[in-house]
Structure 1
Amino acid sequence: MKILVVGSGGREHAIAKKLLESDGVEQVFVAPGNDGMTLDDLDLVDIAISEHSKMIDFAKENDIAWSFIGPDDALAAGIVDDFNQAGLKAFGPTRLAAELEWSKDFAKEIMVKYGVPTAAYGTFSDFEKAKAYIEAQGAPIVVKADGLALGKGVVVAETVEQAVEAAHEMLLDNKFGDSGARVVIEEFLDGEEFSLFAFVNGDKFYIMPTAQDHKRAYDGDKGPNTGGMGAYAPVPQLSQSVVDTAVEAIVKPVLKGMIAEGRPYLGILYCGLILTADGPKVIEFNARFGDPETQIILPRLTSNFAQNISDILDGKDPSITWTDGGVTLGVVVASNGYPLAYDKGVKLPAKTDGDIITYYAGAKFAENGRALLSNGGRVYMLVTTADTVQAAQDIIYNQLKTQNTEGLFYRTDIGSKALKD
């Protein structure tokens, strides 16, 4: 079996690597991928994510069994619809189903309509009305660009002035383009955040281990929001009863609601949740695997990943199994300046092997084809599995101390929230 993975980041590296490890998989292509992936025998295809027709032609010409769609912008652009219309299988939601991610206002409407617990909110395209709402609600308060913004369109404002400034940047300064033409302004929720993923086909779903991402750029959850600086799974301070409650109150009703709306869901559903005093509530939905959570969840999968996806696509119940013990933890290494302006071309350390996995997000070979250089904001991620969070931290951070990370940075506290409880 040959498989195509669409995307170029660390998430797609993890997906493609796991698929290639599956029995029965002959070859995994990644379009467009990044050069670091070739170190794991993955085959890159020089087709941009937006070039759906070229991807379809490639899939037909190379006898691709099915394609796995990684990025949110591809799903929002209807890549699954285009593949399906061409008679090809693609694992991911249609454009209409993916609106759960590409419009935060739509997601809120679905949650309200189907009784899914979430923060109180208002949606605005007029700055003065948004400002009046913020001033009436007070701070802390959350301002979100309605559309896709690479994980950076969320501002948790500690003061009214910060919230008004964020709304001004989105609505009047065009900071996120069309994605910020509307803003969703939400009640601030206090509690433990966690990620809950599920494989989905219609009303059938299969829950994955819980994970906890670290969005802020710097230690202690300081600095701007990023696409994610590290993660670990499972989250030991969350009880199974919390997960069960989230499944009953959130996953089931939203999937039934999507069917009722004529938008049945197929693919990965990400529930970004927060455990409040009133139970788990939704912060956001994503219509695909998260990054960097994918890189720490998939190493825990012990079943045949490719067969699992094939079964879900065919409407069969997959036999999915996970590692029971220990914790998987990963730390992202990013370019200095990320998520704002950053330099490229930093020489990267050698790829790790053995108990430490290296996943590449932004990497490119030098012109001489020898050295691997940084080529993005988030550059690579080191991942390991150990008995405890502390043990996993020790392994990763000891490895990072041996690497030359000049021109790069990383957080030194990934997973530490689990040690405070």
Structure 2
Amino acid sequence: MGMKVLVIGSGAREHTIARTLLAGPSVDKVTVAPGNPGMLRDGILTTQLNPSNHAALIDFVKDNSYDWVIVGPEVPLIEGLVDDFTAAGISAFGPTRAAAQIEGSKDFAKQLMIRHNIPTARYRTFDDLDQAVRYVTEHGAPIVVKADGLAAGKGVTVAMSLDDAIRALDDIFIDHRFGAAGAKVVIEDYLEGQEFSLMSFVSGTDFWPMPVSQDHKRAYDGDEGPNTGGMGAYSPVPQIGEDVVRSAIDTIVRPTVQAMAEEGVPFTGILYAGLIATADGPKVIEFNARFGDPETEVVLPRLTSDLGAAIGAILDHGEPEFTWRDTGTTLGVVLASDGYPLNTVTGAHVPDIPVPDDGHVYYAGVRTESKGELASSSGRVLVLTVTGEDIADAQRLAYGALDRIPTPGLFYRHDIGAKALADSPVGRVT
């Protein structure tokens, strides 16, 4: 008998995790709490349990004899779900509440990096609007303004002008756009270079890096519009050389997991390093305490080994095996609701997408309509992921499918992967 696994979350990231688990021989059954109706199309079970209801989740795991749990989103991690599972004798893959601070507080992460000489932008932290405005006025633009806490990937403003910076501070301190996440603000120096994401499976001071990816944060083509949770991604990233990746592993990932262990908050789970390749080497923009979204949708499809067996081995303090596809490019395009991320309009019909060979649709914000069809229920609706021979081929496959169908009430970027085809380096990708 194979293992039974519970995945916590509801988006395309969790859909990808669940489908990848089921693709390996070690896992027979995956349930996602709460999941979404699009997952049912892949034989993935869902249960309408709220990730914040820890007691109900613990009872569900025990009553149904699940072998272990993986927590997808950041909020349940920050709320201590892994701690509660562990206290109940349940194996859970993800960081403790204390270790998840590396994402839950940008100030915590920056202080950790400064103490351990991990390369990152210079910064200051403020909890007062007037002091923050005075600092950015003296510093000048470009400058980066970040809400300290969780803001669903939308709490960062790369301000190219002083007006943009002050407007971002007003959003945080006066309009309270990010609620409690904006009680403090981290203001960073602007860094020049291309961004990339490096995720690693981590167990204490041991870690196993994944292929790098690059996501597209801005809502519209050409990196225009507001920041989103991510409008698409691709992997690998040809303009980020192997030497840069090796340097990032040696100067950022390894010292970070060692620092967490040394400071009494050892990390188990997925450490996501959002990095930028500067002229002075790779530097940290942010850390996340879980799989990225939409990066997961283009990285996990490149896994050729058994994900369930590997995570099971990590939870048993054994040695996991990871093998990855070393040819081709995997590219994902997000289909989002009109108005996302500022004034999202939901309820649009979600069409069936003609998926190319070696491609898949991972569902996120969908609900069931009459006759079993799907409608949009939140900002990001689905991700179409394809694998082609190279970037250009993957773009041809993805857009060849999307451009053939009407998408009223929905939109997508038409330039995912374009930076890999540019003849010259471009600036910061946010």
Per the TM superposition, whether the score is higher than 0.5 is yes
Residues 81 and 364 of structure 1, relative CA distance in 2, 3 Å threshold:
same
- 1:136-177 per-residue CA deviation (whole Å, 9 max, x = no partner) reads 110000000000000000011111121112112212221111
1:342 partner SS:
coil
**Aligned with 1:189: secondary structure?**
coil
Q: 1 CA distance for matches of 2:216 and 2:351?
A: 23
Q: Which residue of 2 aligns with 1:141?
A: 143
2:327 alignment partner in structure 1 = 325
Counterparts in 2 of 1:321-360, with a 5 A limit?
321-350=323-352, 352-353=354-355, 354-360=357-363
What residue identity is the alignment partner of 1:98?
Answer: A
Cα deviation, 1:93-116, whole Å, max 9, x if unaligned, reads 000000000000000000000000
Which sits farther off after the overlay, 336-345 or 192-201?
Answer: 336-345
2:4 and 2:182 mapped to 1: Cα distance?
39
**Deviation larger for 2-11 or 172-181:** 172-181
Query: What does 1:13-412 correspond to in 2, within 5 Å?
Result: 13-350=15-352, 352-353=354-355, 354-366=357-369, 368-412=370-414
**CA–CA distance in structure 2, aligned partners of residues 79 and 231 of structure 1:** 28
Could you tell me which runs of 5 or more consecutive residues in structure 2 were left unpaired when the two chains were aligned.
424-430
Secondary structure of the residue that 2:403 maps to in structure 1? helix
Amino acid at match of 2:236: P
Alpha-carbon distance in 1 for matches of 2:398, 2:6: 30
The structural deviation recorded for 1:352 is 4.5
The alpha carbon displacement at 1:228 in A equals: 0.3
Q: Aligned to 1:270, what secondary structure does the other structure show?
A: strand
Deviation (angstroms), 1:219: 0.5
CA distance in 2, matches of 1:138, 1:169: 19
Query: Per-residue deviation at 1:47?
Result: 0.5
Shift of 1:374: 1.1
Equivalent residue number for residue 415 of structure 1: 417
Tell me, what secondary structure is at the counterpart of 1:68?
Answer: strand
Deviation per CA, 1:328-365, whole angstroms, max 9, x where unpaired? Answer: 00100000100012222211112545422000011111
The Cα shift of 1:414 comes to 0.1
Question: Once the 2 structures are TM-superposed, how far is the Cα of residue 373 of structure 1 from its aligned partner?
Answer: 1.0
Q: Which moved more, 1:356-365 or 1:283-292?
A: 356-365
Determine the C-alpha separation between the residues in 1 that align with 2:31 and 2:68: 11
- Contact 1:143–1:157, Cα closer than 8 Å, also in 2: yes
- Distance (whole Å) between structure 1 residues aligned to residue 353 and residue 396 of structure 2: 18
Please tell me the residue identity of whatever aligns with 1:158: M
TM-score (norm 2): 0.96
Contact 1:352 1:358 (8 Å CA) reproduced: no
What secondary structure does 1:402 align onto? coil
Is the Cα–Cα contact under 8 Å of residues 272 and 291 in structure 2 kept in the other structure?
Answer: yes
Aligned length: 420
Give the Cα–Cα distance (whole angstroms) in 1 for the partners of residues 52 and 306 of structure 2: 30
Q: Distance in 2 between matches of 1:213 and 1:248?
A: 23
Query: For the residues of structure 2 that align with 1:383 and 1:126, how far apart are their CA atoms?
Result: 43
For the residue of structure 1 that corresponds to 2:200, the secondary structure is strand
Uncovered stretches (5+) of structure 1, i.e. residues with no partner: none
User: What displacement does 1:24 show?
Assistant: 2.6
**Contact between 2:26 and 2:306, CA under 8 Å: does it hold in 1?**
no
Normalised TM-score (structure 1): 0.98
Q: Distance in 1 between matches of 2:116 and 2:93?
A: 25
Matched residues in 1 for 2:73 and 2:274: separation?
17
Decide whether the 8 Å contact of 1:211 with 1:231 is kept in 2. Answer: yes
- SS of the aligned residue for 1:97 comes to coil
Pair 1:12–1:352, CA change in 2 (3 A): farther
Percent of residue pairs bearing the same amino acid type: 54
1:195-248 superposed Cα distances (whole Å, 9 cap, x missing partner): 001000001000100100000000010100000000000001111110110011
User: In the TM superposition, what is the alpha-carbon distance from 1:315 to its structure 2 partner?
Assistant: 1.2
Per-residue displacement from partner, 1:49-72 (whole Å, max 9, x unpaired)?
Answer: 111111111000111100010000
CA distance in 1, matches of 2:372, 2:208: 42
Q: Could you tell me whether the CA contact under 8 Å between 2:148 and 2:181 is conserved in 1? A: yes
